[in-house]
């Protein structure tokens, strides 16, 4: 296990392409973090959503989309990931082999590569990403308009000079950003669109239950049926959004077993219906309002226990009957023969 400092997360995520409302902006981004000289982890993002994660010390990569699992979709995902990773590998090797740079202690090398395109009214590359970070700070990046690598710190200058004088490297990254990545993003987004149309829309429910023994009332928000991504559920009291510090509890994202996931958030509330509560998909348009009804749970745990105690006895009787039945049958069989 390794611990990634907050800054490094910020480096990785700070420019992850926001999920736009427009269907016409699409992006691919591969993010990489070297944890030792030989090992790294990576995540591939499509339109700002993580679609797989990979660790160089484990063989299997789990794609989070059905279209990536077989056939042409699988091949597309495979090549998208492989060509993106080639860019990282070149830098990782060069930077970690550089005499002036040492991967020791808490040092972390990161990379991000990809492109963002807009399709409306015509195809246009809006952003490109080819960057390395060292200990959470910018280190070396490719300026797509100048077609030059640019060092952000002195220790990156030797690599900058070397790469800028190597036309193969410049051509290679330009071809990747300008052509391959654009092709991959266009093809992936058509698979994404198809799959999202097949995916059911999430549902949200907000209900309160009173527990008989304690008299406590717990208000639960259940959002279910979304694709298993980093869903955030907003829970509001009047106009305020509630957080963990307000006593909000979360189950975390759990699979439903059908490829979709659910997330439950709950809150102990007072035994009154005066406050108004609302919950739903954060930044989404799906929200539900609490109807103010408190359901009394009529579960009597002591009675339930009695029933459970009966179960072994019933089972025992059934077994006796079975043995008896088999014995009689066998008896009959032997007499007939």
Ligand X SMILES: *[C@@H]1O[C@H](CO)[C@@H](O)[C@H](O)[C@H]1NC(C)=O
Question: Closest approach of Cβ 333 to ligand X, in Å?
Answer: 57
Question: Closest approach of Cβ 249 to ligand X, in Å?
Answer: 16
Among residues 200 and 328, whose Cβ is nearest to ligand X? Answer: 200
Given 146, 245, 301, 306, the residue binding ligand X (CB under 6 A): 146
Stretch that binds ligand X, among 27-35, 142-150, 151-159, 185-193 (CB under 6 A): 142-150
Question: Closest approach of Cβ 58 to ligand X, in Å?
Answer: 12
Stretch that binds ligand X, among 138-146, 182-190, 220-228, 323-331 (CB under 6 A): 138-146
Q: Is 285 in the site for ligand X (CB under 6 A)?
A: yes
Question: Closest approach of Cβ 175 to ligand X, in Å?
Answer: 6
Question: Closest approach of Cβ 76 to ligand X, in Å?
Answer: 11
Given 19, 23, 78, 325, the residue binding ligand X (CB under 6 A): 78
Q: How many residues bind ligand X (CB under 6 A)?
A: 14
Handedness of CA 142, 146, 147, 153 (dihedral sign): negative
Q: Can you name the residues that pair with 132 across neighbouring β-strands?
A: 111, 140
Among residues 201 and 326, whose Cβ is nearest to ligand X? Answer: 201
Q: Is 330 in the site for ligand X (CB under 6 A)?
A: no
Question: Closest approach of Cβ 315 to ligand X, in Å?
Answer: 39
- Residues, the chain: 337
Buried b (16+ CB within 10 A) or exposed e, 288-318: bebeeebeeeeeeeeeeeeeeeeeeeeeeee
Q: Is 36 in the site for ligand X (CB under 6 A)?
A: no
Among residues 144 and 335, whose Cβ is nearest to ligand X? Answer: 144
Stretch that binds ligand X, among 29-37, 141-149, 242-250, 310-318 (CB under 6 A): 141-149
Question: Closest approach of Cβ 327 to ligand X, in Å?
Answer: 57
Q: Which of residues 175-234 bind ligand X (CB under 6 A)?
A: 175, 215, 230, 232
Question: Closest approach of Cβ 317 to ligand X, in Å?
Answer: 42
Q: Which of residues 103-132 bind ligand X (CB under 6 A)?
A: none
Strand 109-118 with 25-34, pairing: antiparallel
Using CB under 6 A, list all residues that contact ligand X. Answer: 61, 78, 86, 90, 143, 145-146, 172, 175, 215, 230, 232, 271, 285
């Amino acid at each position: 296990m390794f611990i990634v400092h907050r800054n490094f997360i910020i480096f990785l995520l700070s420019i992850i392409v926001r999920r736009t409302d427009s269907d016409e902006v699409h992006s691919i981004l591969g993010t990489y973090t070297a944890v030792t000289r030989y090992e790294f982890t990576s995540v591939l993002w499509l339109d700002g959503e993580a679609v797989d994660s990979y660790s160089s010390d484990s063989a299997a990569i789990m794609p989070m989309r059905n279209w990536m699992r077989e056939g042409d979709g699988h091949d597309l995902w495979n090549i998208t990931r492989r060509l993106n990773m080639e860019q990282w590998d070149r830098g990782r090797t060069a930077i970690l082999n550089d005499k002036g740079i040492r991967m020791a202690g808490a040092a972390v090398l990161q990379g991000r590569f990809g492109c963002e395109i807009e399709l409306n009214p015509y195809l246009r590359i809006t952003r490109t990403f080819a960057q390395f970070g060292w200990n959470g700070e910018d280190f070396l990046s490719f300026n797509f308009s100048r077609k030059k690598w640019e060092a952000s710190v002195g220790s990156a200058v030797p690599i900058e000079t070397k790469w800028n004088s190597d036309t193969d490297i410049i051509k290679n990254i330009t071809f990747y950003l300008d052509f391959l990545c654009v092709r991959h993003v266009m093809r992936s987004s058509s698979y994404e669109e198809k799959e999202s149309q097949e995916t059911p829309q999430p549902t949200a429910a907000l209900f309160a239950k009173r527990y008989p023994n304690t008299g406590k009332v717990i208000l639960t928000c259940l959002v279910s049926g979304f694709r298993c991504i980093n869903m955030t559920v907003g829970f509001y009291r009047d106009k305020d959004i509630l957080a963990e510090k307000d006593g909000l509890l979360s189950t975390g994202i759990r699979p439903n077993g059908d490829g979709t996931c659910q997330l439950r958030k709950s809150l102990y509330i007072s035994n009154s219906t005066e406050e108004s509560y609302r919950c739903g998909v954060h930044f989404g348009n799906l929200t539900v309002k609490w109807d103010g009804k408190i359901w009394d749970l009529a579960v009597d745990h002591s009675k339930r226990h009695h029933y459970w105690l009966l179960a072994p006895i019933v089972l025992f009787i059934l077994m006796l009957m079975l043995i008896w039945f088999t014995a009689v049958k066998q008896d009959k069989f032997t007499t007939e023969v």
